[in-house]
Amino acid sequence: MRYVVGIDLGSTTTKAVVLDESCRPLGRGITNSRSNYQVACDVALGEALNSARLGLVAAELDASAFPPARRSELLGELERRFREQQYRAQLGRLADALASRADGDAGLRSIVENIVERMGVEAHALFAPGASRKSDFFRDLAGSRYLALAEEHAGERGAGFDRLAGLYDKAILEVENAPGDDARFGETARAALASMSSSEDVLATAVERAARVPLERVTCVGTGYGRATLPFPREWIRSEILCHGLGAHHLFPGTRTVLDIGGQDTKAIQVDEQGLVTSFQMNDRCAAGCGRYLGYIADEMSLGLHELGPMACKSRRSVRISSTCTVFAGAEVRERLSLGEKREDILAGLHRAIVLRAMSLLARSGGVKDEFTFTGGVARNPAAVEALRRLVTENYGARTLNISPDSIYTGALGAALFAQREAGKRASAA
């Protein structure tokens, strides 16, 4: 099967979207961005290809006329157990990296082995149906649990918490810089099947067939905040403005205005009926009011990033926030808390302040036309969405607000669409 891929190297996450040559979506993948951009691209692409093969498993079950209810149940458990097996493999690499850095200290090595063993015991529950995880990234999942267990063991055999935490900081770099490997899909999927509570022969057959399908990359286009550092030829790079515009138009053909709040910047984009950019504005000074700012606030409040929006939605009274400067965010939050303000009210004010900055960019780009599409990771945040909906209605009247469940992949989708067009040109020239 031939495919094209779009890579969006953002400041916080790297995304990949895989399409077939007819623009049909095959798979998508995401990982945390890192200092080694080639590895970040490889990991995101590996995840996208795993997603594509899981999609092939689903297609095999459809072709066999498998009962829909049972099909959904089996596929859901297969994917959960597949992710669990990936987590366990990374946990094994973490154990090896920690042991190698124990500097021959038998006591220290014993402690980290005990910590990782406990993390392995907990892994099954971490991927149970309905389980709540603060992140889908191994660094975050493993890190929070490792540090909690390290606190329990601090002081044993002369190993302080700082030393245990320092070991993790060094070891995780080795673990997360291991590239993605589509060739291991079959091995990981078989282990997932073996761990399932119940399975069917038809599912095992579908997995084997999906694992054997050859996947051939035709071309690749990169975009995103870090696009200049992507290890791609210049002709394979596209502006994130163009990619978000085209990706939003592909998802919602009626789109005329696009707002992307990413990790490091915010973009207000106007597009025509073909998805071509006619004007845009973006913040050009700092990351104020972007995803990075929200991440800083989450750390300050000891919350997961995904918890900010739901908590803000519980607010009864929004606190006025004077600044969205990331540098001073912690000080302002601490001051508000010391004055007795509730966390949900502070967060509601923070979300409103972020959206007010975005509204300024929208006004300068040409306003908000119907239809209006919100893209980027912050589009997953319910408090940001509600604040945006309210302010758009107040300033521009009723507008159709589009938000895809896969909004964070919009830039990568646009890059993949550019790749598909490039592949079409090559085919025509040949």
How far, in Å, CA of 132 to CA of 141, rounded? 11
pLDDT in tens, 135-171: 778 888 898 899 999 999 888 876 789 989 999 998 9
CB atoms within 10 A of CB 325: 14
How far, in Å, CA of 53 to CA of 123, rounded? 23
Which residue is associated with the tokens 């239809």? 371
In the predicted model, what is the mean pLDDT of residues 402-426?
92
Quick one: what percent of the chain has pLDDT higher than 90? 56
What are the start and end residues of each CATH 3.30.420.40 domain in the chain? 1-65+215-241+412-430, 253-403
- Greatest mean pLDDT among 245-254, 286-295, 336-345 lies in 245-254
Residue 181 is predicted with a pLDDT of 61
Q: Give strand pairing partners of 373.
A: 258, 402
Among 296, 199, 311, 263, residue whose Cα is nearest residue 411: 263
Pure H helices in 101-184:
106-126, 138-153, 161-176
Beta strands in 276-430 (DSSP E): 277-282, 372-375, 401-402
pLDDT in tens, 11-53: 888 999 999 988 999 999 999 887 778 888 889 999 999 999 9
Among 288, 380, 284, residue whose Cα is nearest residue 30: 380
Q: What is the dihedral of CA 10, 14, 20, 24, to 10 degrees?
A: -70
Q: Which residues contact 84 (CB under 8 A, 6 or more apart)?
A: 123, 124, 126, 127, 192, 195
Residue 94 is predicted with a pLDDT of 94
How far, in Å, CA of 190 to CA of 223, rounded? 35
pLDDT at 366 over 70: yes
Residue 327 is predicted with a pLDDT of 63
pLDDT in tens, 203-214: 999 999 999 999
What confidence category does residue 192 fall into, taking pLDDT thresholds of 50, 70 and 90? very high
pTM of the model: 0.89
How far, in Å, CA of 418 to CA of 212, rounded? 28
Domain 1-65+215-241+412-430, CATH: 3.30.420.40
Q: Which one is the CATH code of 253-403: 3.30.420.40, 1.10.10.10, 3.40.50.970, 3.40.50.12780?
A: 3.30.420.40
